[in-house]
Amino acid sequence: MDMTGKLHIGGVAITPNLVLAPMAGVTDSSFRRLIKELGGVGLIVTEFISVEGLTRGNMRTHRMMKFLPVERPLSIQIFGHNVDRMTAAAEIIEECGADIVDINCGCPAKRVVKGGGGSSLLRDLPQLEKILRGIRNAVSIPVTMKIRTGWDESSINAVEVGRVIEGCGANMVAIHGRTRMQGYSGSANWDVIAAVKKAVSIPVIGCGDVTTPDIAVDRLRETGVDAVMIGRGAIANPWIFRQTSEMLRGEPIYQPPLGEKHRVLHRYHHLLRDELPERALTGKLKQMCAYFTHGLEGGARLRERVFQSQTITEIYDLIDMYFSSMMERGCPPEWSRHPAPPTAVSTDSSRASL
């Protein structure tokens, strides 16, 4: 572990040693670019991509691989069970110019597990090894794997899995500190992550419950991991990478003023609008606003009204009104003076997949 913030995954230099976690429905190109613009992130990982769709020419799946040079260094994550299709998908990823290919061995979603991918591979180490060796032999870019601590509390096997990953020639292992059966409940077990770090010589990245810069730095110091991966904490506070990097360097920690938060919400809209139809864009903005306004005075009322909105214009009228009132008067708007927009069901059904 290097507290100066340097990490190498194969031949790819990662500076600082802070990683944006792959999150289904969240870490698309727009969100990744937003995080990159705000600074402090060393590596970005895409939301996971199905090898079935990728190798069968599904256009929507191929669009998920889209990235811009500003997002580098970039790791594209895939999931699946079939060795041939996993290998073919890794070759496609290398051909598209990605810096790293990452194998998802941690997703707890039923649809993924039912197909033999994600966390189910933690119970099928021979298949995991076949997949990893097949990909390692097929591509020249670094190969990494993201796992969980085990299937359930009675089968914690992250150390064993870590050794298999290292033995297959992979360049890094990332560990979410929960079991598959925990899903996203309970607390992340960083003792298991620390045990994996002691057991292998390849870089180890820890993930789970990193919601503040202080926690990120503490995890680096306490466990000896080579980097920390941040997921949901980056949605609520996209400056967390910059703040953690500043803390690692002993510099003053940036605290974004309200005006900057207002600007970033508009910037996210700008990044999204050329990629999504309005229906999908509306859901994304509602999702971001929901995370972004937790803890702000009057934020709950703003979220309530935003989720009732049906159009982008309605959403931003409410957001602009809120931030203007907070900056000019120091308090939320008197919403009673402004009728709420017609009720609508949110279009967003995505869930972070850390």
Grouping H, G, I as helix, E, B as strand and the rest as coil, residue 230 is: strand
Catalytic positions are: 107
8 Å CB contact between 136 and 164: no
User: How far apart are alpha carbons 237 and 243 in whole angstroms?
Assistant: 10
In sequence order, what DSSP letters do the residues of 89-121 get, joined into one string? HHHHHHHTT-SEEEEEE----HHHHHTT-GGGG
User: How far apart are alpha carbons 276 and 4 in whole angstroms?
Assistant: 39
In sequence order, what DSSP letters do the residues of 26-51 get, joined into one string? T-SHHHHHHHHHH----EEEPPPEEH
Within 8 A by CB and 6+ apart from 71, the residues are 29, 32, 33, 36, 44
Rg (CA), the chain: 21
User: How far apart are alpha carbons 253 and 271 in whole angstroms?
Assistant: 26
Q: Are strands 74-79 and 143-148 parallel, antiparallel or unpaired?
A: unpaired
